[in-house]
Chain A
């Protein structure tokens, strides 16, 4: 069935270093891949997304890459800051399913 695998489950980096989170999806019909940041007590907040007709997208310190052939997509955060500490979720949607399939989440800790 539809599935999104996300790794790693936890990630600890030093402030200023880069962080990379990877996801793999199973449904070939998926064409929309958002990344969400969730802070304690809040709902998921969209930080960046990419569609299947694009291989890479960047927004300041955040970038996402997509490899449709391998069904992989990744989140890259450069120059990490303590306020980047949160749980990050990848997701996939498409094929007129009208739903997001989420990965299991990555808890990112940025050490000052």
Chain B
């Protein structure tokens, strides 16, 4: 069965612009989480959605937002991009509570801000 699909794989944006990243979870999975991976900070939790509701949010500024659609696909948006937002953004899907069912990650979107 298809895994977690993230699009696009690579993005280059200019400071001040905004960007939208997309994640399609494994079929039947209703939970989608987002993580930011950087060499300096490692893997940091952004937010988690289940059935279109945000259940938890990490310590990121309000420029980072997300949403989930009725088909469980999720998008995250970063507004007013800063150089420090350059990172690999990873999406993970789970049947429900990841602590019970486990998380499966996509290959990520590599965002470069110039």
Q: Residues on A close to B: CB < 8 A?
A: 31-32, 34, 36, 41-46, 49, 89, 91, 93-94, 96-105
Contacts and interface: CB of A to CB of B under 8 A. Distances in A.
Interface of B: 4, 31, 33, 35, 42-43, 45, 48, 50, 55-56, 58, 90, 92, 97-100, 102-108
Nearest to B103: A100
A34 B104 CA distance: 11
27 contacts: A31-B99, A32-B102, A34-B103, A36-B105, A42-B107, A43-B105, A43-B108, A44-B43, A44-B90, A44-B105, A46-B104, A49-B102, A89-B43, A93-B99, A94-B99, A96-B97, A98-B31, A98-B33, A98-B50, A98-B98, A99-B33, A99-B58, A99-B98, A100-B35, A100-B45, A100-B103, A102-B42
A85 to B, nearest CB: 18
Q: Is the interface of B mostly helix, strand, loop or mixed?
A: strand
B1 to A, nearest CB: 15
Contacts of A93: 98-99
A34 B43 CA distance: 14
Contacts of A31: 99
A29 to B, nearest CB: 10
B100 to A, nearest CB: 7
Given A104-B42, A105-B42, A99 B90 contact: no
Contacts of B43: 44, 89, 91, 100, 102
